[in-house]
């Protein structure tokens, strides 16, 4: 008999009807028991429509706990179903001609009739090519296949869910829409790939969900958030949340077409590192952090005025614990909901681009937390992490380490990086904790780690992962930059992968940071004996493409702020900091400082509070802020300060050995050496009058920056704005100038 559908009219004189059968004819008792007990591993073989060829009928079954009655509806004809179990299992046998039926249910709950679609009547969604590419680690746009996707299937709107859990005995989607009952929406397993999927009609944006998983040993796992979920509840809640795909950022097109030039080795790159939750707060509203939109209102004009070229956000991938600052993420595809929605973050990026500001984000592929709702033993086994704790557990952070030997795990991480670059059009990723990935014995004592196949301490699979990460990111997202936080002497971090390197664009120069901060923290009377802490960095300054980073790591865990490390009374601390910044901005390498350092934040950073903006009421803090602003604008406008940051021919020592007076003098050059800048840094509180220093040619030299200027709340120590070079060879240069070096100050000079 034919079924009435929207495309097929009923055959005359052949009304739809059920056959008269006993309940045992509609379902085997063992299958009923398995379903009711939540142990049915293949519900698509039981629920939904099933053709009984011998009887030329369809058997349709549904499980709707609490329903008083259920009818299966074909257009305007309804057939009452037989209740097979008091828990809510119903079935009907319907005579029909071959052809997969289209129908919905009308169920009665508490005296009310509710129409709903049957998720078990829809066909397989994923295709074999997608599954194979994921298994091979080549499904680079995995967010379009896995996770939860808005979908219209056979004219019905809903969400398609797909998750990787190969060892699971059963996986279900649960949420308020099914009273968190794991028996309602059991997923189908797609052969041995271990991917489970289901299409659930009727769900809406902002509905929350998790996965309920019975592990390999038959035990019920903690409810899991979606590894590929694109949004989540606001902590401390942790369910995944349904969203529509992030809308395209068409207004960024001009920026994207030109960002190659903004990220080259010869480009001025000065980065302002930001923790979104503590840049500013709303004390009048319970000290809440700003939303993405509010953050843009404050951050964009400030960064633009200060002259920074980029903002770098600390991790915005979803994370459970505020105190991790985002470095223990559970949602690698989800923008943290603390500050708003994915679309609101996308709009913030677009606004930054419109203001001529690039956007970098922290990316954390090294490890993940052991929170029960996350990736930890996701399917009851060590799926995303190594099973052996000597490889899979990080002793410092008490976190799990990804298993880079699995193509699916590599695919998960690389696709996540591409998701942020593609969907939000951010301009690059700063990859966290690279050193911890490179070395098998990182933070481990003898006997606590497993050597590689050659007996060494290099994590060969992690090396391959990072190479693949950089190849894919640079290949798929034109003009971006990849930055490594790597703290060892590993050779070739920024070397191309085809030449045996890791393939990063830049590397944080943590050696420079450590040495120079140690030098600056010393009383000036002792600096003469530690001169090399400044000069040593120039011995390796071009071994990588370095970024000089004074990051959040330098203002936490009892270290104090950058300003608080400066020695002496308040006058000397301000002066020391200004001299240090003059050294940093003239030194080869791109620049990065953490928010607050630009105005001499006094207190150590507190992620639960706002920066101390009230300090700008004091002239010393305003002076430091004004200096950083002027340094940024000089750095961007003078090619000699940035074009050869990563080229040794762009730097010449003039005085590297004046340890007795703690003075440093060097030249910076542009591409063709037609432009130059002389930097002079006096690291003692003693003014150096009649101080001679060599220069490369005759003529007048003018001071374009003096950190001791009254404009920066300096002492304004007397000295000329211009000096004439004398034909007196000095410091290996054919000419020299004589001038006064103010105390604890930096001077920049260029030919007049």
Strands 270-274, 310-313: pairing kind: parallel
CA 314 from chain centre, in angstroms, equals 8
Q: To which residue do tokens 């990849």 refer?
A: 482
Size of the chain, expressed as the number of residues it contains: 752
Contacts (Cβ under 8 Å, ≥6 apart) of 560: 604
Please name the helix (run of DSSP H) or strand (run of DSSP E) that holds residue 112, with its range, or none: strand 112-116
Q: Where does residue 351 fall: left (phi above 0), alpha (psi -120 to 50 degrees), or beta otherwise?
A: alpha
The partner residues of 658 in beta bridges, in order of sequence, read 663
What is the per-residue burial (b if ≥16 Cβ within 10 Å, else e) of 27-36? beeebbebbb
Task: Using alpha carbons, list the distances in angstroms from residue 213 to 135, 221, 389, 443.
Answer: 21, 6, 23, 34
Neighbours of 699 (CB within 10 A): 11
Which one of the listed residues 130, 273, 318, 432 is annotated catalytic?
432
**Residue 19 has which token pair?**
């056959």
**Residue 197 has which token pair?**
């999927």
Task: Using alpha carbons, list the distances in angstroms from residue 743 to 157, 213, 618, 626, 716.
Answer: 72, 67, 21, 19, 10
Neighbours of 99 (CB within 10 A): 12
Contacts (Cβ under 8 Å, ≥6 apart) of 402: 365, 366, 367, 368, 384, 385, 409, 413
Q: What is the DSSP string of 403-466?
A: -TTSHHHHHHHHHHHHHHHHHS---EEEETTHHHHHBTTTT--TTSS---TTSSSB-HHHHHHH
Among 277, 235, 483, CA closest to 361: 483
Contacts (Cβ under 8 Å, ≥6 apart) of 179: 65
399-401: strand order across its sheet: 367-368, 399-401, 393-394
- Number of DSSP helices (H) and strands (E) in the chain, helices first: 13, 38
CB 728 within 8 A of CB 643: no
Phi, psi of 193 (to 5 degrees): -70, -25
Which one of the listed residues 31, 485, 598, 645 is annotated catalytic?
485
Catalytic residue list contains 485: yes
Strands 288-289, 393-394: pairing kind: unpaired
CB 412 within 8 A of CB 375: no
Please name the helix (run of DSSP H) or strand (run of DSSP E) that holds residue 534, with its range, or none: helix 532-535
Task: Using alpha carbons, list the distances in angstroms from residue 181 to 81, 100, 209, 436, 531.
Answer: 22, 28, 11, 41, 68
Neighbours of 305 (CB within 10 A): 12
Q: How far is 242 from 207, CA to CA, in rounded Å?
A: 5
Strands 358-363, 310-313: pairing kind: parallel
Catalytic residue list contains 427: no
Phi, psi of 524 (to 5 degrees): -55, -25
Which sequence positions are flagged as catalytic?
432, 485
């Amino acid at each position: 008999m034919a079924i009435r559908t929207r495309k097929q009219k009923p055959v005359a004189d052949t009304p739809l009807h059920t056959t008269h059968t006993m309940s045992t004819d509609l379902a085997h008792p063992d299958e009923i028991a398995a379903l009711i007990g939540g142990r049915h591993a293949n519900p698509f073989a039981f629920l939904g429509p099933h053709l009984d060829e011998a009887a030329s009928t369809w058997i349709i079954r549904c499980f709707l706990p609490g329903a008083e009655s259920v009818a299966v509806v074909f257009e305007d004809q309804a057939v009452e179903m037989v209740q097979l179990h008091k828990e809510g299992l119903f079935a009907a046998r319907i005579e029909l001609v071959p052809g997969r039926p289209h129908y919905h249910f009308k169920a009665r709950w508490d005296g009310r009739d509710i129409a709903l679609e049957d998720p078990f009547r829809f066909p397989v969604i994923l295709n074999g090519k997608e599954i194979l590419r994921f298994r091979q680690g080549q499904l680079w746009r995995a967010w379009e296949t896995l996770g939860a996707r808005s979908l219209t299937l056979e004219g019905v709107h809903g969400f398609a869910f797909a998750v990787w859990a190969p060892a699971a005995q059963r996986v279900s989607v649960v949420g308020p829409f099914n009273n968190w009952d794991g028996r309602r929406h059991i997923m189908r397993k797609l052969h041995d790939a271990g991917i489970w999927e289901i299409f659930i009609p009727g769900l809406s944006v902002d509905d929350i969900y998790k996965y309920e998983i019975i592990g390999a040993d038959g035990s019920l796992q903690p409810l899991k958030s979606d590894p590929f979920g694109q949004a989540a509840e606001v902590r401390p809640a942790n369910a995944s949340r349904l969203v529509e795909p992030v809308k395209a950022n068409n207004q960024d097109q001009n920026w994207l077409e030109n960002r190659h030039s903004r990220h080259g080795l010869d480009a001025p790159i000065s980065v302002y590192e930001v923790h979104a939750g503590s840049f500013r707060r709303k004390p009048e509203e319970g000290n809440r952090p700003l939303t993405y939109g509010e953050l843009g209102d404050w951050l964009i004009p400030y960064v633009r005025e200060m002259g920074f070229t980029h903002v770098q956000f600390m991790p915005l991938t979803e994370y459970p614990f505020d105190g991790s600052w985002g470095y223990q993420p559970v949602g690698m595809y989800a923008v943290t909901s603390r500050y708003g929605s994915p679309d609101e973050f996308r709009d913030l990026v677009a606004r930054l681009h419109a203001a001529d500001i690039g956007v970098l984000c922290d990316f954390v592929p090294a490890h993940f937390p052991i929170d029960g709702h996350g990736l930890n033993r996701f399917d009851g086994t060590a799926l995303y992490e190594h099973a052996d704790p000597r490889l899979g557990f990080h002793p410092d952070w008490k976190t799990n380490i990804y298993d880079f030997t699995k193509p699916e795990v590599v695919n998960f991480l690389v696709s996540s990086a591409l998701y942020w670059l593609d969907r939000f059009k951010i301009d690059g990723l700063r990859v966290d904790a690279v050193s911890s990935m490179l070395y098998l014995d990182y933070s481990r004592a003898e006997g606590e780690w497993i050597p590689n196949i050659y007996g060494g301490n290099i994590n060969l699979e992690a090396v391959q992962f990072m190479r693949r990460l950089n190849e894919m990111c640079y290949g798929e997202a034109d003009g971006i930059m990849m930055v490594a936080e790597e703290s060892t002497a590993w050779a070739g971090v920024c070397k191309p992968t085809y030449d045996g390197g890791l393939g990063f664009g830049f590397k944080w120069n943590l050696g420079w940071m450590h040495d120079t901060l140690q030098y600056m923290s010393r009383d000036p009377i002792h600096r003469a004996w530690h001169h090399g802490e400044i000069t040593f960095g120039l011995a390796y300054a071009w071994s990588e493409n370095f970024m000089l980073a004074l990051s959040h790591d330098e203002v936490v865990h009892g270290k104090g702020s950058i300003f608080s490390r400066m020695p002496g009374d308040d006058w000397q601390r301000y002066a020391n900091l200004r001299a240090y910044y003059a050294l940093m901005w003239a030194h080869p390498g791109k620049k990065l400082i953490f928010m607050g350092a630009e105005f001499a934040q006094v207190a150590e950073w507190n992620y639960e509070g706002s920066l101390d903006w009230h300090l700008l009421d004091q002239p010393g803090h305003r002076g430091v802020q004004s200096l950083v602003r002027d340094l940024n604008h000089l750095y961007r406008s003078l090619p000699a300060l940035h074009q050869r940051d990563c080229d040794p021919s762009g730097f010449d020592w003039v005085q590297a050995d004046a340890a007795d007076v703690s003075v440093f003098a060097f030249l910076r050059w542009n591409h063709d050496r037609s432009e130059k800048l002389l930097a002079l840094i006096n690291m003692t509180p003693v003014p150096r009058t009649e101080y001679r220093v060599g220069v490369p040619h005759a003529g007048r030299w003018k001071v374009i920056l003096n950190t001791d200027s009254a404009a920066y709340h300096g002492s304004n120590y007397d000295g000329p704005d211009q000096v004439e070079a004398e034909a007196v060879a000095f410091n290996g240069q054919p000419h020299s100038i004589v001038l006064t070096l103010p105390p604890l100050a930096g001077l920049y000079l260029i030919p007049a």
